[in-house]
Structure 1
Amino acid sequence: MKTLNCIIIDDEPLARKGLETYCNDISFLNVVGVCKNALRANEILHEQTVDLIFLDINMPIVSGLDWLKSLPTSPMVIMTTAYPQYALESFSYEVIDYLVKPISFDRFLQAVNKAYRLTKTTEDEAVFFVKRDKSLKKIKLDQVLFVEAMQNYVKIVTTTETIITHTTLKQLRDKLPNEFFVQTHKSYLVSKAQVSEILGNQILIGAHTIPISVRLKKEVLQQILNS
C-alpha cells in the first residue's frame, strides 16, 4: 500500500492534535510535519516530499488561502476550517475536499480515501498533474518529450502540445520517476524513451536538439544506454 506523506497546518493546538490523531489511525497516512503557521510548512515542502496537506484558512501571518495561492505547485490539499463560506473559492484552487470543523472521523476518512484514490489513479495511468492558470492539467508520462526551464516557469513539450506551468525544473523533476527521465543540463530534463540520437554534446528528440552539459555527460549516457 502506498503511503501518503502529509503535513497539518493549523494555528489551534487542539485542532492540530485532533487531525494528527485521525491521521495516526489511517494506515496509509504518514505525518511528516505539524505546523502552527504556513511559514514552517514552506520549510517542510523544501525539505522532503509531501503528498497531502491539511490546511486551515484563518491563521496569523498569512491565511491558508493566500499561502496556497503563492505556491507554484502544491501537493493535494484538504481544507480544514471553521468557515464554510470559503468553500467555493477554495475549490477554484483545486483542493480535493473541504472539511468544516468540528470534523467527524467519518468525514475525515471520506476525504483521505479520495486523496488515496487520486494517487492510485495517477500511478495506474502513468500520468502527472501540473497547474495551468487555475486548473490542473493531466499529462501522460509516455507523451513527454522534454522539459525546459524558463526562470520561474517550465515548458513541457509533449507529442501533442506545449504546456507552460509556474514551477521550477527541480520541483518538477522531484515529481517525475527517475526511470523515465534524465536531466541533461541545468535547464533540460528529457524522456529517455524519446531520445532518437546522441551527437557529441547534444541529444536529438524528433526535430528538437537538447544540450548535454559536460559535467553531466557521463551520467546522462549511462542512464540512457542502460534504460
Structure 2
Amino acid sequence: MNLRCMIIDDEPLARKGLREYLADTPGLELTGEYEHPAAALPALSADKPDLLFLDIRMPKINGVDFLRSLPHPPMVIFTTAHSEYALDAFELNVIDYLVKPFSFERYLKAVTKARDFAARHRPEQPAADHFFIKCDNKLEKVMYDDILFVEALQNYIAVHTKQRKFVTYLTFKAMEDYLPVSHFIKVHKSFIVSLNKIDSIDGQDVFVAGHQLPVSRSLKDEVMARVLQDRYLRR
C-alpha cells in the first residue's frame, strides 16, 4: 500500500530531513511541504493526503490546535522538539509522536504504525481469507495464510505457497498494492514476503520455508523493524 504524505513544519532543516527520510522509504509519496498550516489548507482539501507529518510550535497557530480544527484529518505523526504536548497529541488519536531530533529507525517505526493503521481501516479491503488468480486459463483459489512469498518474473509473477507455485500474468506492483501491508512486506524489487513466514535473517537475506531471498539495502531497515518489532530479546 502506498501512502500519500504531507509535511507542515516552519523549520526548513526539519522539512529537509523529513523529505530525505521519505525519499528513502518505498511506498511513501510526498504530495507537498508547507511552513505554515494556513498555507497547507487548500492542499489538504484538494490532495487528501493519507499521512501528515505535523510540527507543533509554529507561528500564529500550533499543530495541536490546527489538528483540532480539521473536520476530517488524515493520519497524523507529530514531529516536534517539545515533549510536553504528548498527552494532547494522543488524546487526538495521532499515530505517533516524534521528538526532534529523531533517528531514521524511530521514524520508520512511526511509519510502520501508520501503514498498519491504514491497512486495518482500508474500506476497500474486505475481511477475507483468500483471493482468486488466473493460471493456465483456470481460476485458482489462493489462501492468504498459505502464501510464503511472491516473486517477480518479467511480465508474470509467481505466488509461492505451502503447497505449490502459482504463475499468473499480473504485474508485481498490482500484487504489492493488493496484499494487506499488515501481513506482507516487500524485501526486494522482485520479492514480497509474508511477515510471519520469515524463519531467519542472515546479513542481506531472509529465509522462508527453506528459500533464501535477498533483501535490498534500501529496504533492510524497514524489513528489520517490521520483522523484529518488539520481539527481539537481547542481553
For normalisation by structure 2, the TM-score amounts to: 0.52
Cα shift at 1:125: 4.9
2:172 paired residue number: none
Match of 2:55 in 1: 56
The structural deviation recorded for 1:48 is 1.3
**Structure 1: which amino acid aligns with 2:120?**
T
Name the SS of the counterpart of 1:84 in structure 2. coil
Residue in structure 2 matched with residue 101 of structure 1 by the alignment = 100
Alignment partner of 1:85 is 2:89: no
Distance in structure 1 (CA, Å) of the matches to 2:66 and 2:126: 30
1:115 maps to what in 2?
114
The within-5 A match list for 1:19-58 is 19-58=18-57
Cα distance in structure 1, aligned partners of 2:67 and 2:126: 27
Could you tell me how far apart the structure 1 residues matched to 2:48 and 2:67 are? 17
Partner of 1:177: none
> What per-residue deviation string (whole Å, max 9, x for no partner) do you get for residues 54-85 of structure 1?
00000012111111110111000000000001
Q: How many residues align?
A: 125
Looking at structure 1, the residues matched to 92 and 39 of structure 2 have their Cα atoms a distance apart, in angstroms, of: 21
With the length of structure 1 as denominator, give the TM-score of the two structures.
0.54
Secondary structure at 2:30 match in 1 = strand
Compute the RMSD of aligned alpha carbons.
1.1
How far 1:26 sits from its partner (Å)? 0.7
Unaligned segments of structure 2, at least 5 residues: 128-235
CA distance in 2, matches of 1:97, 1:42: 22
In the alignment, the residues of structure 2 paired with residue 91 and residue 34 of structure 1 have an alpha-carbon distance, to the nearest angstrom, of: 23
Distance 2:39 2:126 in 1: 33
Over 4 Å off, 4+ runs: none
Which consecutive residues of structure 1, in runs of 5 or more, have no partner in the other structure? 127-227
Q: Could you say which residue in structure 1 is the equivalent of 2:203?
A: none
1:1-227 map, 5 Å? 2-123=1-122, 124-125=125-126
1:77 is paired with a residue of what secondary structure?
Answer: strand
Specify the code of the residue in structure 2 equivalent to 1:56: D
Greater RCO, 1 or 2 (C-alpha within 8 Å, sep 6+): 2
Q: Secondary structure at the match of 1:85?
A: coil
Q: Residue type matched to 1:112 in 2?
A: V
State the one-letter code of the partner of 1:34.
Answer: E
Q: Secondary structure at the match of 2:39?
A: helix
CA drift at 1:98: 0.1
